Every structure is written in C-alpha cells, then in structure tokens.
Structure 1
Amino acid sequence: MKMELKAPLSFSSALRRIMISEVPTYAIENVYFYENTSSMYDEVLAHRLGLIPIKGVPVSGDEVIVLTISKEGPCMVYSSDLKSESGEPAFENIPIVKLAEGQKLELEAEALVGTGKIHAKWQPCNAVYKQISNDEVEFKIESFGNMDAEDIVRSSLEILKNKAEKFLSELEGRELSDEN
C-alpha cells in the first residue's frame, strides 16, 4: 500500500515505528508436540511455526487461537495443514517439514497476541517512507498477511492518539499539582 502524508517528519517517523513495533497481532508462541518422528527437532519446528503469519485483528490481549496438525508421510507439511476453528495462516503454501514414509507429525499450537517489540514474529508489516518535501512523505506499507495494510495504519493511528491523550492527561495532572 502506498500513501502520501502531509505531516512533520517526526510524526511520520513515530507512525512508522508504531506500525512495526506496537500494533498487536497473532503469532504462534506455544507448541505442544504429541508425536514428531520427522527429521526436524521439535524446537526448530516450533520456531518455523512461530514465523508463519496468522490472520486476524486482535480485540483483546488475552485471545488465543488454537491450531493443530496431524499428518503422516510421505508428504510435505504446509501451513495449510494447520487447522483451527477460529483462525488460519495468512498463506497456505509455506512449507513446514517434509515427512518420509512412516514419519508422523501431530501437534497443537497456540497463537497468542503480541507486538513487534517483544519478537519480530508479531510484526504486522514492513513500513518505509521517503521524504518528498519538508512536510510531505510517501509511505510504503507491506503487510505480512496477518492484517490488511489499512487496518495496520488505523491501529497505528489509534495507538498514537491514545499515547498523545495519555501524555496530555499526565501533563494536565502535573500542572494541577504544581499550582497547589
């Protein structure tokens, strides 16, 4: 998504940082292996699963999406094999592991809400901007698939607005205490 913004460079920088590090998204955090006879260690598979973008716009911070895989080889296990009643991977064709004849993979994964500040797996996008003039920039926002770019921008603006309101209320509180 491309957009032009008429605002000071400092505002553009703050908006970009919030898009990358503070917009909450889903990512697989906990993986419970019931059977893994593949050639890949549990820890490596858990790391690979964590980097698969999960679709959804979190409403609260305590939501959990449970995904499961139950596959038997020979086959390639893809992100489309992650099954859930409440969420799905953003892309279906991400390879996870190749199973040979007789190998099995059975697991349960929990996608939790987090932000890019905690780990890169929760980053919703890549955002860059180019300064066109003193008060105008061109943004390029590339979503990783877990949220629409428009939703990322809206969430970022809401977060920035809330931070500004909090700052103003604390400033007003400080002024009141200085008067006393």
Structure 2
Amino acid sequence: MSFTSQAFLGQHFEALELQGSEPEPGDLFLFRLMSPTGRWCGAHVGVYCGHGESIHFEGKNPGGHGPHMFLGSCEGVVSKQGQRPLLRSRSLWRVLRRRGGIDRAALERRVREAMDADPPPYHPTRSNCVHFALRLLRPGPSLDLLQRDRSPISVSVDVDLTVD
C-alpha cells in the first residue's frame, strides 16, 4: 500500500483547499521535494499541531551540504516550527485531512512525546516524515511514538496525487 496511492488517499484522507480558512490540528501539509536539477522527486510531510505550529521529521544531511542522503540512514531530527515560516521556506503541494477526524488530546500528547524523545535515525524508506506523520495521527495509545512503533508502512512519495 502506498501513502500516495489514490485508494489510500481516498480511503483515509481528503484533499483540502484552505483559502480563507484555518487548518485544523492533524492536517497534513505535503511539500514538494525538488532534486538539485530542479525535478520533482517526492514530498515532505508535516503535521499541523494548532496554534500556528507544525511538526515534522527529516534527516540531517551529514556535512550540511550537497543533496539529501537518499540511500542510507542518517541522523533524524524532529522540528516544531511556526506554520508561516514553514510555508515560506517550502513549496506547498497539498493539504490533507484524515477522514473521521483525529483525537486532538492524543495528538497533543504524541507531539509532546516526539519533541522530548531522542528521534530515531532517518531512513528514506523505513523511518521518514510520512511514517512519523502517520504515527502521530494513528488511533490508540502512544507509548514511545518513535522508539517502539516500527510497524512497516510501505511509502512512496513520488506518485502524482491528482484529485478530481
């Protein structure tokens, strides 16, 4: 199952247009990732927390220069930042809302846990921003959000999500 497949998107999320309205806690913000040559190569996902803030997980590029490390693990970094600076620094592609809503208290608890925990290593296919976002929104108890829940999620973020 792919995060960006039409079946997954339609079953679990709905695409939103936010013009003139505020996001809700739990909304997913998908940002286009561009290769060094300017080609679209995927998406970065952040979760809106409320109060003008979003949380996201990404890999820290060793050495601080060059293209993102795509083939192996690197240091993982959890960041919470203001929504406006995030929207200014990245190219917004989509906003998605989970069908059926979310448990806001559980989201707040998981965000606090994620901010206080040592993040796992980032890996482009096993532990990335999509895995992180989906774990924040999942139903049920949190219990060490990043460290213990390593359930596999097949993720592909390089598929077009054209929604009619």
More strand by share: 1
Instruction: Say which structure is richer in helix.
Output: 1
Q: Sort the TM-score into its range (normalised by shorter chain).
A: under 0.3
> Given the two structures, how large is their TM-score scaled by the length of structure 2?
0.26
Normalised to the residue count of structure 1, the TM-score between the two structures is: 0.25
